[in-house]
Amino acid sequence: MAAQRHVFTTPQGGPIDPTNLTCTFTTLLCKAGLRRIRFHGLRHSTVTLLLEQDVELVVIKELLGHAHIGVTATVYAHVRLRLQRQAVDTLGTVLGSPENTETARSDGDEPPPCAARVR
């Protein structure tokens, strides 16, 4: 078994206390004028950016250290659904969908109008 390596360490190389990490991170956010987020939020932001760049889910699974891809897919399903919706919207634009016209607006319960007749 390989020795465990830490991303953040004390000056002596030991693991840093999570409370100290949180305190330092919060201080840095304040100094930068950014809103407060949990340190763990950086992990979610990273995954969101990777998904938006079309990085394969299996690669992200490995980076995160998840044992099963189902865990990764479940935790980040909301991001994947948003990206799928954007892909469908892009396809609609390319195909000349009247999605942006005044007559195409609805509450979302109706199917979108067809731009071409299906035979």
pLDDT on residue 74: 87
In the chain, domain spans: 7-39, 42-103+111-119
CA quadruple 108, 78, 84, 58: dihedral, nearest 10: -160
As a whole number of angstroms, the distance between CA 76 and CA 1 comes to 30
| Contacting residues for 45 by C-beta, under 8 A, at least 6 apart | none
CA 109/CA 86 separation, integer angstroms: 18
Beta bridge partners of 15: 9
Please report where in the chains the tokens 């000349």 appear, as a residue.
Answer: 96
- For the chain, 119 residues long, give each residue's pLDDT as a single digit of tens: 556 677 778 888 888 888 988 999 999 999 999 999 998 899 888 998 998 888 999 999 999 999 999 988 888 888 888 888 888 888 888 888 555 544 444 555 555 555 554 54
* pLDDT for the residue numbered 104: 46
Residue 26 phi, psi dihedral angles, 5° rounding: -60, -40
